A and B are shown apart, each in its own frame.
Chain A
Amino acid sequence: GAVVSQHPSWVICKSGTSVKIECRSLDFQATTMFWYRQFPKQSLMLMATSNEGSKATYEQGVEKDKFLINHASLTLSTLTVTSAHPEDSSFYICSAVGGPPDTQYFGPGTRLTVL
C-alpha cells in the first residue's frame, strides 16, 4: 500500500516550452502533497506544499508563476514548469501524506532536461 506515482518519469523539452508533471496517490487519499527538487548529489529541496482545494504554499525563493501547482483532487497534484529554461533542468519529486499519520510517501521522480 501507500504507492505514489509520477508521470512522466523522464522528459526532454526545448527552452521556452511548458512541461506538466503529474503526481498521483494510487491507493490512498492525500489532502497534502509536496513538491521537491533535487540536484545531483544534493539534498531534497522543498519547493511547495500542495493542499487539495486550496492554493499551494511556496517556499521562499520559488517562483509561483513559474512553477504552477494544482491539487485538483485527493489523489492528483500537478506541477507545471512554465517557459522552461536549461537552469530548470533537475529531478523533481513529489510526495503525499498518508497513513500512518504524518508520513510522506514519495513518488519515483521525474527527470526534466531542458535543451
Chain B
Amino acid sequence: QKEVEQDPGPLSVPEGAIVSLNCTYSNSAFQYFMWYRQYSRKGPELLMYTYSSGNKEDGRFTAQVDKSSKYISLFIRDSQPSDSATYLCAMSGRNQFYFGTGTSLTVIP
C-alpha cells in the first residue's frame, strides 16, 4: 500500500464550479498536511498548510483534514481558468515527506 494515494484525474470542470481534490494516507504518524499547485514547467507552489483535523480557509481555497479517516481534501470555490494546474497533496512527520502523484485540473471558460 502506498503511503499517499491521490487520484491523478484528469479533472475537467466549467468555470465557477466547486472543485474537490482528495488524498488518502496510511501512516498515522503524519503531522503536517500540505497542498501544492504546480503549473506546467514550473516548480510546485505551496497553497495550504495544516497540522490538525478540521478546516482551514484561505480565499477561495479550503483545506480539510480528517485524521480519523486518514483523508484530506482541498476545495476550490468559484473555480477560474487560472486554477488549471496539477495539485499535489503532501504529508510529513518526523522529517519524512510523502507526496501524492498529483491531480491534473482544467477549468474550462
**A106 touches which one: B44, B92, B101 (CB < 8 A)?**
B44
- Determine whether the beta carbon of B42 is less than 8 Å from that of A105: no
Measured as residues with beta carbon below 8 angstroms from the partner, the interface class of chain A is: 20 to 34
Stretch at the interface among A66-74, A80-88, A95-103: A95-103
**A102 touches which one: B31, B41, B99 (CB < 8 A)?**
B31
Q: B68 CB to closest chain A CB, in angstroms?
A: 21
B contact patch SS? strand
B40-66: contact bitstring with A at CB < 8 Å (1 yes, 0 no)?
A: 011111100101000000000000000
A interface residue numbers (CB < 8 A to B): 2, 4, 6, 32, 34, 43-44, 91, 93, 95, 97, 100-109, 111
A-B contact pairs, 11 of them (CB 8 A): A32-B95, A43-B102, A44-B88, A95-B43, A95-B44, A100-B51, A102-B31, A102-B93, A104-B34, A108-B42, A109-B41
A102-B31, A102-B93, A104-B92 known, 18 other contacts, Cβ within 8 Å: A34-B97, A43-B99, A43-B101, A44-B99, A91-B41, A97-B95, A102-B95, A103-B32, A104-B46, A104-B97, A106-B44, A106-B45, A107-B43, A108-B42, A108-B43, A109-B41, A109-B42, A111-B41
